[in-house]
Amino acid sequence: LCGDFKMQVPFPFSLLCLQVIKCKAAVMWEANKPFSIEEVEVAPPKEHEVRVKIVATGICRSDDHVITGALVMPFPIILGHEAAGVVESVGQGVTAVKPGDKVIPLFVPQCGECQNCLNTKGNLCSKTDLGTSGGLMADGTTRFTCKGKAIYHFLGTSTFTEYTVLHESAVAKIDSAAPLEKVCLIGCGFSTGYGAALQTAKVEPGSTCAVFGLGGVGLSVVIGCKVAGASRIIAVDINSDKFAKAKELGATDCINPKDFNKPIHEVLTEMTGGGVDYSFEVIGRTDTMTAALACCQYNYGLSVIVGVPPAAQKITFDPMLLFTGRSWKGSVFGGWKSKDAVPKLVADYMKKKFVLDPLITHTLPFTKINEGFDLLRTGK
């Protein structure tokens, strides 16, 4: 826009181009209410911040957890964290991206400086808003206003808006040829499930796996287990309508707990002659977390918690489940170091190493976001 402007000027160049943008956003004013499509003001990016035009965003169960109160966040808020877009402008000091770059927002940033970023075993950057419920940028303020009120950010991303502002550590530049309406899933759901199998559990060829929950993330776990070479992948869900898609993506068996008169962990233990090598809870319920642990092989089985645990709930379980040798792990964003991994995952998609299309059930205009959440809640 200003590329041909070569005169020296007595004030910062950024002031020429960076202005407040007015656009549409889905604002959540309070819990357990529908989204309200509003005109919001999006402030220019400050130092080390990036303003992004969102092209496509996915609906994730974690967003719905905020609406129901299972995940506590401040209101009013702009939710959304699984997306892809194009850089509109950058603040002072940003070098990693420039206007026009295709990017994926990162709800787990990668600052490259904190203890977790520097450790090869960690990926949960200390700059993440996950667990802190802050809802503000690093300087303690927000970039959104609506009707004169400040609107909180969600997980440092807030993608249910036509424009958003992120810290530069929370954006990953991706292949300019990547279809944003597909690779937006790499911003959360796909990477979370796929990485839980490959990165967190490190599923081995010939192993047996059980996946509890067949939403987008659970199906991505199935894809990861198949890519890892698992010989048996047992998909578990109380919605049998999910089974055809699960088998298409690599599940060898599909079982509905409602079809049995005994606890599901006993069914799985009998099916596998002693328990699975790896299990994954991809729902976010305490009862299925303990069932997933119990269905693992008693001496060397590994169970991974992938679903977001509900707030203010505790788990009670028999410690003998762990004493005999089982392992229990958690996985956020699939264990990937986000800025490093996301561009590589997009490249792998472009090379057809995995598919994303089967994970997309509906494509809706932004103004129908409430219909999208209705589809999510009814398992469609």
**Catalytic residue list:** 60, 62, 65, 81, 188
Q: How far is CA 22 from CA 34, 42, 285, in A?
A: 22, 6, 39
Burial of 186 (0-12, 13-18, 19+ CB in 10 A): buried
Q: Quick one: which of 35, 27, 31, 38 has its CA closest to 77? A: 27
How many of the other CB atoms lie within 10 Å of CB of 7? 4
Give the neighbor-by-neighbor strand order of the sheet with 171-173: 163-167, 49-58, 82-90, 102-105, 171-173
For 150, the 3-state DSSP assignment is: strand
Supply φ then ψ for residue 266, to 5 degrees: -70, -40
For 198, the 3-state DSSP assignment is: helix
Supply φ then ψ for residue 260, to 5 degrees: -125, 150
